[in-house]
Chain A
Amino acid sequence: MTKKLTILFFSILFFGVSCGKFDEDFSSEKDLQTLTLKLAYPEASPYGATKGIEITLTDNLGGVFQCTTDENGVAEFKIPCGIYSANVSDERGIYVFNGKLSEIILTSKQPVSSEIKLSLANINKLIIKELYCGGCQTDDGSGYTRHDKYVTLYNNSSDTLKINNLCLGIGTPYNSTGTNTNYVKGELAYASEGFTPAAMGIWYYPETIEFLPFEEKVISIYGAIDFTVTYSNSVNLAKKEYYVLYDETCERYASDTHFYPAPYDGIPKSHYFKALVYGLGTSWIVSVTSPCFFIFHLDENPATFSSDENNHYFDGNKSGSWGAFGSCLKIPNKNILDAIEVFTTRYDGNKKRLSPEIDGGYVWHTNQYGYTLYRNVNAAATEKLPENQGKIVYGYTGGTSDIEKGSSDPSGIDAEASIKNGAHIIYCNTNNSSNDFHQRRIAAIKD
């Protein structure tokens, strides 16, 4: 008790002394100077200046001052002269804008106005919920079909997300067992370079895309058609709410009607992604066995980004002519929202294509049988949501643990059943496909 009282005494004493000093030093207006800081958002950002963003100033003695912005993104400090550094963080939607300004010298001579340039931080709420890419058995037993591919993107938060230049990319090589010339002494050459190569081309959404809280969007990769008409084991991607990778102005891809059949009429054209092609091939290759798939956003128009030679990379860190085989775009890792690394169970020699920063693991996949790669549920976070009370369905049996290298969701939560029951699911997002994904027996949209 004596000890506690002693601490309390000295704390009060310290606080009093501090306040006394403050009052003493800045009691006079003439000792204070005005510092105006304005937040500058990235040009391509869907977000701009807003009221209430807190900026923190720190002086070289450790003194801390805080002020919030007005609707123009401007904060005005009246503080003693000195040398300051400013920090700001603005979290909106999936975006976290960070800004820092150092060496702000404030003298008594005149007020100072400065701009803090904000950049995006790599905290992502938009995730790949599911990637269905392995095809399924045909009805006549003749083999399997492989074009019925889709990816489901999901807002893994209660925030509304608005994203400009949302892009889909694939890694290289297309198959995890392909010859990977990017390894140097056992390490991916680009792992330490802060980028991930996107092979062949990218697909991008030409407008700002919005994801409501816990909303998902299904994107058909090779045709928004009802594959179940011919293949009963397959999926129906002809639904008006779905999105589709289809760009009739991209002659190279659009001319291949096997990969890119005319989309279902019910899907509005506003749901069409556009293609930016810089490599060879008449279709964008999402491996049927083992894709490396990622989603990212760009701060500028994809065509502008692509035209910058500094963003060009040739598979295997080789030299090459832009547009030739092996042409890749360097996607800054900070722009990558989510990724999945898939290894095939069919062949040996799988190698990772994503650096640990983006994805530290992989998920095993057996293709041809309609299996899909589905996100695991973050049970703790999901159960914590108050609106989920009584809506979560347990006893998940949709995994494939019973087959070799199969997997299931360790949370035991049946995400799809829970969603149907009105629950909001928060999925695992550890940047590690080994933890985040499992192989589900049936595509989720067939449930």
Chain B
Amino acid sequence: MYRRILTYIAFLVLSINTLSAQTYNVEGTVRNLSDSLPVPFATVVLGDNLLWAVTNEYGYFIIKNIPQDNIKITIQCLGFVKREFVVRRNMKPLKIYIQEDNLAIEEVTVTAQRTKNEAASTYTLDRTALDHSQVLNVSDVSSLLPGGKTVNSSLTNDTRIQLRAEGSTELGNASFGTAVEIDGARISNNAATDETSGASMRNVSSSNIESVEIITGIPSVEYGDLSNGIVKVNTKKGKTPFVADFSTNPHTKQLAVSKGFDLKGHAGMLNLSFEHAKSYTDIVSPYTCYKRNVADIKYSNTFLKNTRPLMFSFSVSGNTGGYNSENDPDAFSDEYTKKQDRVLRASSKITWLLNKPWITNFYASFSASTADKTYENNYRKSESASQPYSHAREEGYFIAEEYDKNPEAPIILSPVGYWYVKNFSESKPADFAVKVKADKVIEYGRIRNKITIGGDFSSSGNLGRGVYYDDMRYAPDYREYRFDELPFINNAAFYAEEKFETQVFQNIKGSEFQAIVGLREDLTMISGSDYGTVSSLSPRSNFKFVFWDDRYKKFKTLSLNFGYGKSVKLPSFQILYPEPQYAGDKVFSSTSDESGTAFYAYYNRPFAAERNKDLKWQSANQIEAGIEAEIKGIKLSVSVFKNETKNPYLQTSLYTPFTYYRSSLTNSNIPLENRVFTIDRTSGIVTVSDKSGANKAETLPQTALKTYRSTPTYVNGNSLTRKGIEWILEFPQIKLLKTSMRFDGNFYYYKGTNQVLTPFNPQAVNTDGSKFNYIGYYVGTRNSFSNGNIKKTVNQNVTFTTHVPKIRMIVSLKIETTLYRYSQVLMESGNYPNVAFASKDKGATTGEAYDKSMRDVFVTVYPVYYSTWDNPQKLIPFEETYLSAKESNPGLFADLGKLTSTTSYGYNFNPEKISAYYSANISITKEISEIASISFYANNFFRHNGNVKSSKTGLKLPLYDSGYVPEFYYGITLRIKI
């Protein structure tokens, strides 16, 4: 490990050279174009050489020791349009005017823009686009990416963002692999014990976002713990007017207020925002809802503005609320389900421009978050007969006892009558992270090196108690499993990245070659567990070749980019710590007395959770190539990608055979009212005694029963592939119509099969009536007859945007089409022998080897092996035994037949091509002077719900409720700025 670190350092030292050039300063003032007043806290950044400044209260800035001539300067400030131009040596103090950002200006974008100058595919959504599309949940922003489909936003759907992936039916945990950061602080979901998916974003205020940056390509090595890209959310920072948003759609009401205060002098800026949003599940019964109440406080300041500026920010964000299935108050019951969604996040960040020969900037940040995701359920219960509730955690035979007599009994008997059961599942994920980073830009001649070195440490755990009941008397089968006793996941990472830039053709403006090469090492430490320390290396690189930029009038820009990289996703708590299982088999029941009370006995056996110490961390190998060009004002960008997910986390089961003994009471001389049942904890022998002493105790006969218990465990699946092409073609505005047109779309390909040998014990009985004692070992899964699928989709969207600055209005009509939608379920056995057999005869038990080109066939899937209860270690080849048993051993043939799985219909394996379909969605934003604006949207406003044709069945399917197009939906937002 240490050798690797030393290697990095050596690499950096060798990269750094001490060449220096003559430097100069740039200074100036930034003013508001409309009133010429100074703009404080505007950020001034010089090109890509990492020098920057922040304006003071007079709008003044100075950047010293600039080594490069003819460099682009960028001025940015919240609420203003970004301005860029080139500065040179010997310029007089600059007088820069920046324009307020509103619909009165000419350049307004309401779509996701491909970020220029980034080697990796990166898209940016600014506030105007977010306002125009009225995004409620940050996870919905992926609908604005090329080929993305509009969704009807509601907070009751806790959708998770996933990049370059479609749908939850795909393998590879795409949403879990998609990282999300807010102001540089990672929003992790690793400590969730009940899911392995991306972080929930519905507790993030959508109104306090300034911009969203989405990196779908190969990200910098600065970013770890991901495998499917990253979404970076930037919240508002800087002076802003008081803004109040009132939004409504059929399911959601939202109220948000925010203001950025200039604390004057050197005191900095304070941004405050509050948002309340409420989404109802059912508009007819407005009780069940999800609520969020988010408050954000952010303090930011820049010290040492005229020397070595140090930008500091500290923010605290909190949310209270959550889901509450509150009943209609007129109804009887007090039943409810609540899921808390309380979050407290704090983060701080410094960026310090030291601009020394050995360092340019130093960055440090910390973030900490804690959440309360406790699930509370209160439900009404009634029983007319006592029920056994097992709380046993130790192995043995136990008989149910009345709670009042022995509250600690391993198995208690429920009362008879009515009561409420209140249970909680307390989950309190906590995350902590610190990051440090330093960079240095070195220039010699036309070559510029930017070297970044950094490290981070993160820790994730769960402080929740797990499931518990407020009154154990009413707790049904339950065993405590505390999340707060699980070890934290600690991850330390070190990385180094070199960004090399050089002008390629001396005479061609803007021609440039850019290479970004980086290496990241993650060390994951899970103390007190079987996993130990896991090391993972992630090399990443991006290359960009700009042939020219802004050179020709007609063919303005042309560039190519290529990237390759590996990224690693850390596992979740659900993967690391699957819950222990308990066998709780009924071994005896007495008869009931007149009150319904009976005595039940169970055999309890704990099965420790299988923690797979050989588990490898899921990773992704990404390749991307792209082209960007601008011809006659038409902007084109195309990205081609291939993502291969390696070692995806996959849940499977292990089966352990065991025997238990069941007792039966046939006849007894002891009267019912005098019977006392006892059970031997070890042997399971049940004895009936006569409490009057009149009769001798009776020992009940036993029957041995063989069964299995399955325990979940996580393994690594086989690799799966996603490929695609994304394109954006933007035409310049037709001045006469004030309308521009944009085509964006994507081709998406996915293929994933689960070829892990997976044991399964079906719910069946042997032909002799005994419990089914065979385990089948399947390629993938037995739960369905396929072990994966292939998908191909072509989406093409056309957006017409009419922007009339004079009346401050923008209208966008987005026609979303899916021109090609193909999918087919697969059964591929990989390295195992063929297990799928096709037949035209639906009752066939075998057939010819299935090939995916076959049509209208019934497919029977066999396990590769099977094992018996008596010898679970011996894997017997299935096909050979099964077919030979047909004649020689009909009983075995019938039993093994229960391990096979046959498609229900002949069309199940047919390819599914859905005919083309579309929806039309319109959004309108109108500003009413400076102080107010109204945004309105209507999704699928043509109410296009016709039929599409399915090639799989030959039938027509209605689009309505199909999920292919959004249902007709609308919403409006009134925004007031004071």
Q: Which residues of A contact B (CB under 8 A)?
A: 138-143, 145, 147-148, 223-227, 229-231, 234, 238, 248-249, 251-252, 254-255, 257-258, 261-265, 267, 269, 277, 280, 303, 307, 314, 316, 318-324, 326
> Is there contact, CB below 8 Å, between A229 and B384?
yes
A282 nearest CB neighbor, chain B only: B763
> Is there contact, CB below 8 Å, between B672 and A230?
no
Residue numbers in A under 8 Å from B571 (CB-CB)? none
A140 nearest CB neighbor, chain B only: B418
> Is there contact, CB below 8 Å, between B332 and A318?
no
**Closest-CB distance, A272 to chain B (whole angstroms):** 11
B285 CB within 8 Å of chain A: no
B858 nearest CB neighbor, chain A only: A319
> Is there contact, CB below 8 Å, between B382 and A262?
no
> Is there contact, CB below 8 Å, between B592 and A319?
no
Q: Is the interface of B mostly helix, strand, loop or mixed?
A: loop
**Closest-CB distance, A68 to chain B (whole angstroms):** 44
> Is there contact, CB below 8 Å, between B767 and A265?
no
Residue numbers in A under 8 Å from B591 (CB-CB)? 262-265, 267
Residue numbers in B under 8 Å from A142 (CB-CB)? 332-333, 380, 382, 418
C-alpha spacing A326/B902, complex, angstroms: 12
> Is there contact, CB below 8 Å, between B586 and A265?
no
What 0/1 readout, one digit per residue, does chain B (373-404) give for beta carbons within 8 Å of chain A? 00000001011110110000000000000000
Residue numbers in B under 8 Å from A320 (CB-CB)? 902, 904
B307 CB within 8 Å of chain A: no
Cβ contact of B589, chosen from A139, A262, A316, cutoff 8 A: A262
- Of the stretches B443-451, B595-603, B933-941, the one at the interface is B595-603
C-alpha spacing A314/B595, complex, angstroms: 42
**Closest-CB distance, B800 to chain A (whole angstroms):** 42
* Chain B residues numbered 575-626 whose CB sits less than 8 Å from any CB in chain A: 585-586, 589-596, 598-600
Interface size of B by Cβ–Cβ distance < 8 Å? Answer: 51
Residue numbers in A under 8 Å from B593 (CB-CB)? 264-265
> Is there contact, CB below 8 Å, between B384 and A226?
yes
What 0/1 readout, one digit per residue, does chain B (867-907) give for beta carbons within 8 Å of chain A? 00000000000000000000000000010011011111100
> Is there contact, CB below 8 Å, between A145 and B384?
yes
What 0/1 readout, one digit per residue, does chain B (763-778) give for beta carbons within 8 Å of chain A? 1110101010000000
Cβ contact of B762, chosen from A254, A263, A267, A323, cutoff 8 A: A323
Residue numbers in A under 8 Å from B691 (CB-CB)? none
Residue numbers in A under 8 Å from B666 (CB-CB)? 269
**Closest-CB distance, B400 to chain A (whole angstroms):** 10
Residue numbers in B under 8 Å from A249 (CB-CB)? 769
> Is there contact, CB below 8 Å, between B898 and A265?
no
B664 CB within 8 Å of chain A: yes
> Is there contact, CB below 8 Å, between A264 and B592?
yes
B843 CB within 8 Å of chain A: yes
Q: Is the interface of A mostly helix, strand, loop or mixed?
A: loop
**Closest-CB distance, A190 to chain B (whole angstroms):** 15
Residue numbers in B under 8 Å from A319 (CB-CB)? 842-843, 858, 902-905
> Is there contact, CB below 8 Å, between A238 and B765?
no
> Is there contact, CB below 8 Å, between B763 and A280?
yes
What 0/1 readout, one digit per residue, does chain B (409-434) give for beta carbons within 8 Å of chain A? 00000001110000000000000000
**Closest-CB distance, B553 to chain A (whole angstroms):** 64
> Is there contact, CB below 8 Å, between A225 and B763?
no
C-alpha spacing A248/B588, complex, angstroms: 9
Cβ contact of A230, chosen from B382, B705, B765, cutoff 8 A: B382
**Closest-CB distance, A104 to chain B (whole angstroms):** 38
> Is there contact, CB below 8 Å, between B387 and A257?
yes
> Is there contact, CB below 8 Å, between B903 and A262?
no
**Closest-CB distance, A47 to chain B (whole angstroms):** 28
Cβ contact of B385, chosen from A143, A223, A277, cutoff 8 A: A223
Residue numbers in A under 8 Å from B764 (CB-CB)? 323
Residue numbers in A under 8 Å from B383 (CB-CB)? 230
> Is there contact, CB below 8 Å, between B897 and A321?
yes
> Is there contact, CB below 8 Å, between A248 and B418?
no
> Is there contact, CB below 8 Å, between B904 and A326?
yes
**Closest-CB distance, A201 to chain B (whole angstroms):** 10
Cβ contact of B596, chosen from A261, A318, A322, cutoff 8 A: A261
**Closest-CB distance, B180 to chain A (whole angstroms):** 39
What 0/1 readout, one digit per residue, does chain B (476-497) give for beta carbons within 8 Å of chain A? 0000000000000000000000
Residue numbers in A under 8 Å from B904 (CB-CB)? 314, 316, 318-320, 326
Residue numbers in A under 8 Å from B380 (CB-CB)? 140, 142-143
C-alpha spacing A262/B383, complex, angstroms: 13
C-alpha spacing A269/B664, complex, angstroms: 11
A260 nearest CB neighbor, chain B only: B589
**Closest-CB distance, A230 to chain B (whole angstroms):** 4
**Closest-CB distance, A139 to chain B (whole angstroms):** 7
A-B contact pairs, 10 of them (CB 8 A): A140-B332, A142-B382, A225-B384, A230-B383, A257-B387, A262-B598, A262-B599, A263-B591, A321-B902, A323-B763
> Is there contact, CB below 8 Å, between B416 and A262?
no
Cβ contact of B416, chosen from A224, A229, A252, A277, cutoff 8 A: A229
B415 nearest CB neighbor, chain A only: A230
**B333, B382, B662 — most chain A CB neighbours (10 Å):** B382
A264 nearest CB neighbor, chain B only: B592
> Is there contact, CB below 8 Å, between A229 and B898?
no
C-alpha spacing A326/B894, complex, angstroms: 17
> Is there contact, CB below 8 Å, between B384 and A227?
yes
C-alpha spacing A263/B589, complex, angstroms: 9
> Is there contact, CB below 8 Å, between B590 and A255?
no
B906 nearest CB neighbor, chain A only: A319
Cβ contact of A307, chosen from B664, B767, B905, cutoff 8 A: B767
**Closest-CB distance, B694 to chain A (whole angstroms):** 18
> Is there contact, CB below 8 Å, between B769 and A303?
yes
Residue numbers in B under 8 Å from A318 (CB-CB)? 842, 904-905
Cβ contact of B592, chosen from A231, A258, A261, cutoff 8 A: A261
C-alpha spacing A194/B617, complex, angstroms: 58
Residue numbers in B under 8 Å from A251 (CB-CB)? 585-586, 705, 707, 771
**Closest-CB distance, B490 to chain A (whole angstroms):** 43
A257 nearest CB neighbor, chain B only: B387
> Is there contact, CB below 8 Å, between A141 and B332?
yes
**Closest-CB distance, B765 to chain A (whole angstroms):** 7
C-alpha spacing A223/B592, complex, angstroms: 10
* Chain B residues numbered 889-931 whose CB sits less than 8 Å from any CB in chain A: 894, 897-898, 900-905
Q: Contacts A138-B418, A225-B592, A249-B769 given; 14 further ones with Cβ under 8 A? A: A140-B418, A142-B382, A145-B384, A226-B384, A234-B384, A251-B586, A264-B591, A265-B593, A267-B591, A319-B842, A319-B903, A320-B902, A321-B897, A323-B763
> Is there contact, CB below 8 Å, between A257 and B586?
yes
> Is there contact, CB below 8 Å, between A252 and B705?
no
Residue numbers in A under 8 Å from B762 (CB-CB)? 323-324
Residue numbers in B under 8 Å from A267 (CB-CB)? 591
> Is there contact, CB below 8 Å, between A262 and B600?
yes
> Is there contact, CB below 8 Å, between B901 and A324?
yes
Residue numbers in B under 8 Å from A224 (CB-CB)? 592
Closest 7 CB pairs of A and B: A262-B598, A319-B842, A265-B591, A261-B385, A323-B764, A318-B904, A230-B384
C-alpha spacing A56/B354, complex, angstroms: 119
> Is there contact, CB below 8 Å, between A226 and B596?
yes
**Closest-CB distance, A307 to chain B (whole angstroms):** 6
**Closest-CB distance, A228 to chain B (whole angstroms):** 8
> Is there contact, CB below 8 Å, between B384 and A148?
yes
> Is there contact, CB below 8 Å, between A321 and B418?
no
A269 nearest CB neighbor, chain B only: B666
What 0/1 readout, one digit per residue, does chain B (742-770) give for beta carbons within 8 Å of chain A? 00000000000000000000111101010
- Evaluate whether A254 and B586 lie within 8 angstroms (CB atoms) in the complex, with A229-B416, A230-B418, A234-B384 already known: yes
**Closest-CB distance, A185 to chain B (whole angstroms):** 15
Residue numbers in B under 8 Å from A231 (CB-CB)? 382, 384
C-alpha spacing A141/B586, complex, angstroms: 33
C-alpha spacing A223/B589, complex, angstroms: 13
C-alpha spacing A249/B600, complex, angstroms: 15
Residue numbers in A under 8 Å from B589 (CB-CB)? 248, 254, 257, 262
A228 nearest CB neighbor, chain B only: B384
> Is there contact, CB below 8 Å, between A229 and B596?
yes
